[in-house]
C-alpha cells in the first residue's frame, strides 16, 4: 500500500508520494530571490530554515497563477462593458436582453462565489466587489420591466441608477485586480517537499484535492523515465475513481545536469 498527495494544476491531476511531503501550507508571501530562474517564485522562512519555492506552473512552461489572473480581470471588465451595452440596446431598440440579471450566473460571479480568502484585506475587497456586482446585475430587472411600455423611464433608471452601480463595480474590480499577488497567494497551496540531501523546498500548486492510499499494482509504471518539463520526472499513471493522475517521481529546483 502506498499513499499519495493528489493535487491539481490547470485542471490536471498529479500525485506525489506522501513521504516526500513535509507539510501542506497556504501559499506563502514570498521574498524575491535575486538572479534566480523564472520558475523560482521566491523564498520564505519555514521553521528554522529559509526555503525556495518553485512554481509548478512555471516549471511546466505555463503561465503563473498571478499572470493568469492579470488576464482574467480585464476579461471580466470587458464582459461587464458588454453587459451594460446590451442593457442599453434593450431599451433603445426594444430587443431581448442577451445577458443575465443573476449575479451568480456570470463568469465573474461564479469566480467570486468560489473564492474564500483568509487575508483580511482580501476579504474586505471581495465583500465590496460582491456587493456592487450583485447590485449591478439585479439593477437590470427594474429597467427591463419598463423596457417595452415605458422606455423613457427605463432609460432614466440606467442613467440615474445603473451607471453609478456599474462604475462602482468596475472600481472594485480594479481594486481586486491590483491585489493580484494576494489573490494568487490566497488561492494556491504550497507543498513543502524533501529535496536533495534532505534540503526542503516549496512547490506552489493550484489546490490539494485528496490523499489516497492504493495498492502498488494499480500504478501503471512507465517503461522508462519520462521527463515532464525541465524539472520533473514521471513515475507512473494512476487511474483512481475514474480520474487519470500523473504520478511525479521527483521534482528538482534546478535543471538536471
Q: What is the pLDDT of residue 145?
A: 94
In this prediction, residue 257 carries a pLDDT of: 44
Which of 27-41, 111-125, 154-168, 199-213 has the largest mean confidence?
154-168
Note the pLDDT tens digit of each residue in 50-59: 999 999 998 8
pLDDT value at position 103? Answer: 97
Average pLDDT, whole number, for the chain?
89
pTM: 0.75
For 2-62+189-251, give the CATH class: mainly beta
Q: Which is nearest to 203 in space by CA: 253, 243, 161?
A: 253
Architecture of domain 65-183: Up-down Bundle (1.20)
Q: Which pLDDT band holds residue 255 (cuts at 50, 70, 90)?
A: low
pLDDT for 135-178, tens place per residue? Answer: 999 999 999 999 888 999 999 999 999 999 999 999 999 999 99
Residues with Cβ within 8 Å of residue 208, at least 6 apart in sequence = 5, 6, 7, 24, 189, 191
Q: Distance from first CA to last CA of the chain, Å, rounded? A: 33
89-110: b (≥16 Cβ within 10 Å) or e: ebbeeeeebebebebeebebbe
Q: What's the pLDDT tens digit per position in 195-252?
A: 766 788 999 999 899 999 988 888 887 665 567 767 788 888 888 888 899 988 878 7
Q: Are strands 232-240 and 219-228 parallel, antiparallel or unpaired?
A: antiparallel
Residue with cell 450583485: 134
pLDDT > 90 in the chain, percent: 56
Higher pLDDT, 18 or 223: 18
Q: What is the DSSP letter of 101?
A: S
Q: Quote the CA–CA distance of 40 and 160 in Å, as a whole number.
A: 50
Residue ranges covered by each domain of the chain: 2-62+189-251, 65-183
Mutual angle of helices 120-147 and 65-93, in 10-degree steps = 20
Amino acid at each position: 500500500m502506498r499513499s499519495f498527495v493528489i493535487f491539481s494544476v490547470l485542471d490536471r491531476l498529479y500525485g506525489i508520494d506522501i513521504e516526500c511531503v513535509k507539510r501542506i501550507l497556504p501559499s506563502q508571501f514570498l521574498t524575491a530571490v535575486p538572479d534566480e530562474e523564472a520558475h523560482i517564485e521566491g523564498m520564505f522562512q519555514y521553521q528554522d530554515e529559509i526555503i525556495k519555492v518553485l512554481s509548478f506552473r512555471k516549471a511546466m512552461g505555463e503561465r503563473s497563477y498571478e499572470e493568469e489572473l492579470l488576464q482574467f480581470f480585464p476579461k471580466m471588465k470587458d464582459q461587464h462593458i458588454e453587459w451594460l451595452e446590451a442593457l442599453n440596446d434593450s431599451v433603445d431598440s426594444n430587443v431581448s436582453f442577451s445577458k443575465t440579471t443573476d449575479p451568480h450566473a456570470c463568469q465573474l460571479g461564479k469566480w467570486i462565489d468560489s473564492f474564500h480568502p483568509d487575508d483580511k484585506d482580501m476579504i474586505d475587497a471581495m465583500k465590496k466587489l460582491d456587493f456592487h456586482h450583485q447590485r449591478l446585475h439585479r439593477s437590470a430587472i427594474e429597467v427591463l420591466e419598463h423596457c417595452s411600455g415605458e422606455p423613457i423611464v427605463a432609460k432614466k433608471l440606467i442613467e440615474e441608477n445603473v451607471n453609478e452601480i456599474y462604475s462602482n463595480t468596475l472600481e472594485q474590480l480594479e481594486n481586486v485586480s491590483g491585489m493580484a499577488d494576494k489573490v494568487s497567494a490566497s488561492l494556491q497551496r504550497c507543498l513543502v517537499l524533501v529535496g536533495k540531501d534532505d534540503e526542503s523546498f516549496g512547490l506552489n500548486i493550484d489546490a490539494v484535492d485528496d490523499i489516497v492510499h492504493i495498492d502498488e499494482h494499480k500504478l501503471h509504471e512507465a517503461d522508462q523515465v519520462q521527463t515532464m518539463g525541465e524539472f520533473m520526472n514521471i513515475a507512473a499513471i494512476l487511474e483512481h475513481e475514474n480520474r487519470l493522475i500523473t504520478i511525479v517521481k521527483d521534482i528538482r529546483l534546478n535543471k538536471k545536469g
